[in-house]
Amino acid sequence: MSATILQTSLAFSALIKLDRLPQWLHQPSLDHLIIDIEGILGLPISRQVQAFLVRPPLTRSIKVVVINQAHQLTPIAQTALLKLLEEPPFYAHLFLITPEVHRLLPTVVSRCHIQVIQAVPPELQTNPLTTVLESLPPQAEPWLRFKISQTLKLNRPALLHQLLGLLYHCSQELSQHPTEVRLKQSTLGLHTWSAVNRNANLALSLEHLFLHW
């Protein structure tokens, strides 16, 4: 995946509030780079992203770059990102978050896979998937996690709907109680939603979610 534009993303609403995240997220040596743009920014942002992605990940198999309010990047800065969008390192996942896609250069948009995530209504704050995962004991054995995942019989639209609710729940929890565990769960939920949205096998996606929750 070269890059993703999320128009309205509650999945990342907590990730981009740097003042509420654990201090370790501010360390440039780790595998997440969260950029929350305020005002118009130019080449320094593009250079920061390029420098961050030069080295392979240290703690995970991927490196994640999230640029919030990406439409605030100057045309020169957006052009500088094109090289990464065209030929990203195999371990790089870039997310450009913006409510105004039309303000991004057409050449940038053409190199991105666009995902539009609508705002989550209040009724999605809790759902069966979230309830089951949150009640799962941390010490639960893999065989039990696997068995519980098989009890959820959901078609693709229903699973996507419940995963979106799970992401909303995680973002709310991150805003109130930011922890490394919750951040990893939120990232896992986002990866599962993306996989299911790309027509991944539903049973395998649920099993992976439960085994790593």
CA 56 to chain centre: 19
Q: What is the chain's mean pLDDT, rounded?
A: 78
Instruction: Name the superfamily (CATH) of residues 3-115.
Output: P-loop containing nucleotide triphosphate hydrolases (3.40.50.300)
Residue with tokens 């085994």: 211
pLDDT band at 138 (very low <50, low <70, confident <90, very high): confident
Residue ranges of the chain that CATH labels 3.40.50.300: 3-115
Which pLDDT value is given to residue 39? Answer: 64
* 146-171 pLDDT, tens digit each: 998 988 888 999 899 889 888 888 87
- Residue 206 pLDDT exceeds 80: yes
pLDDT bin (cut points 50, 70, 90) of residue 61 is confident
Overall pTM surpassing 0.85 (yes/no): no
